[in-house]
Amino acid sequence: MMKKRVLAMAVAASSLMFAGAAQAEVKIGFLGGFTGPIESLTPPIYEGAQLAVRHVNEQGGILGGQTLVMPSADTTCSDASAASNAADRMVNTENVTAIVGALCTGATIAAANNAAIPGGVVMVSPASTAPAVTDLDDNDLVFRTVPSDSFQGDILARLMLDKGFDDVAVTFVNNDYGRGLADAFVESFEAGGGVVSENLAHEDGRADYRSELGSLSASGSETLVVLAYADGSGQTVLRQAYESGMFTQYAGADGMVGSALVEAVGADVLEGMIATRPGSPELPGTELFNQAAEEAGFDPSAVFAAQSYDAAFLLALAIEQNGSAEREGLSEALRSVSSAPGEVILPGEWEKAVELIAAGEEINYEGASGSHEFDENGDVPGVVVEMVVEDGAFVGKGQVDL
């Protein structure tokens, strides 16, 4: 009888221990395009967010020593149903407190409208750049750590005009990202005196774009601006343009900046290609992140990696500031930890931030990709850098300041 009682007590204690362990986790989900047209761009973005999680856990954890974990789900980038299902799993099955992501704009909008907003879950995208995100009716739940394409498109246009390009043909992937970027580019390029001889949408995921390329080439332009994705239509368009002997110069934006694009199309073919992407200013936080990323084994200059670190670290800071893993009040806390006034917190300074928050002090995170003073729409100002393909790789040429 005594043995049974001891066994029962041991089982009960064990059950309590496992229940406590289950409750000792705080979850921030990650929605990424692990398959689809940005699958080669996603891994370092994910690694950036994971690095932030590692910094939190290595410095004592969150909310009194709990472990921060990051379940992930694949949006495929281009399938709204997949994005909605992935977000639903994060919100209603994983019961995350917040979400880093999604990456592609259409995925972010679908995830927000169908799961995050109804569930009261804050999302911070490190990569959704389309202007359409600005106009979401989101109850102050959707933020991003990258500038809108209304800014990047303008910078790309002015950069090309400054380099002497005055006549271009444009093709863009027919989604929120492509349309928003093309609209901004064309408006700015023409306002600056340039000629857009053709501005043509194309659908992603097709095997043949020769018909569209024929129309673009017939315009007479020698320069083709491709606003699409490195692992999707952008790659196929560039390859078939070269195979057909069309155009002598290519340009693009952030969705095209990846080593997989150069490897697939050919270094000789793309030599001299111009592109833009959101970047990081020369600030102390940038250097700290660069060093930490290199030690973690990934490229700190990978597109959106720094922005992803900032998204995850900001959400962790906001949860700590909010005092619980509850969703309510998190957007207000996010605005608080990301804005002046307050003691400056740099990437990796988790322990310092926790001590200040516990003491009732205000903090102001200055991140890997710059400061994040969110406006009323959850948008941030930003830095755009020039990229050029040289010797088989995209090389950064510094911040564009025109």
pLDDT of residue 55: 98
The pLDDT of 52-65, averaged and rounded, is 98
pLDDT of residue 283: 87
User: What's the chain look like in SS3?
Assistant: CHHHHHHHHHHHHHHHHHHHHHHCEEEEEEEECCCCCCCCCHHHHHHHHHHHHHHHHHCCCECCCEEEECCEEECCCCCHHHHHHHHHHHHHHCCCCEEECCCCHHHHHHHHHHHHHHHCCEEEECCCCCHHHHHCCCCCCEEECCCCHHHHHHHHHHHHHHCCCCEEEEEEECCHHHHHHHHHHHHHHHHCCCEEEEEEEECCCCCCCHHHHHHHHHCCCCEEEEECCCCCHHHHHHHHHHHCCCCCEEEECHHHCCHHHHHHHCHHHHCCCEEEEEECCCCHHHHHHHHHHHHHCCCCCCCCHHHHHHHHHHHHHHHHHHCCCCCCCHHHHHHHHCCCCCEEECCCCHHHHHHHHHCCCCEEEEECCEECCCCCCCCCCCEEEEEEEECCEEEEEEECCC
The domains of the chain, with CATH numbers, are: 25-147+282-371 (3.40.50.2300), 150-277+383-399 (3.40.50.2300)
| pLDDT class of 16 with cuts at 50, 70, 90 | very low
Q: What is the per-residue pLDDT across 222-233, written as a single tens digit (0 to 9) for each?
A: 999 999 999 999
Percent over 90 (pLDDT), the chain: 92
Q: What is the per-residue pLDDT across 250-290, written as a single tens digit (0 to 9) for each?
A: 999 999 999 999 999 999 999 999 999 999 888 899 999 99
Task: Report pTM.
Answer: 0.89
Q: What one-character-per-residue DSSP string does 296-314 give?
A: HTS-TTSTTHHHHHHHHHH
| Residue 139, pLDDT above cutoff 70 | yes
The rounded mean pLDDT for the chain is: 93
Q: What is the per-residue pLDDT across 288-336, written as a single tens digit (0 to 9) for each?
A: 999 999 999 999 999 999 999 999 999 999 999 999 999 999 999 999 9
pLDDT of residue 401: 87
Q: What is the per-residue pLDDT across 151-194, written as a single tens digit (0 to 9) for each?
A: 999 999 999 999 999 999 999 999 999 999 999 999 999 999 99
| pLDDT class of 14 with cuts at 50, 70, 90 | very low
pLDDT of residue 5: 36
| pLDDT class of 79 with cuts at 50, 70, 90 | very high
| pLDDT class of 10 with cuts at 50, 70, 90 | very low
pLDDT of residue 29: 98
Which range, of 20-24, 102-106, 332-336, averages the lowest pLDDT?
20-24
pLDDT of residue 17: 40
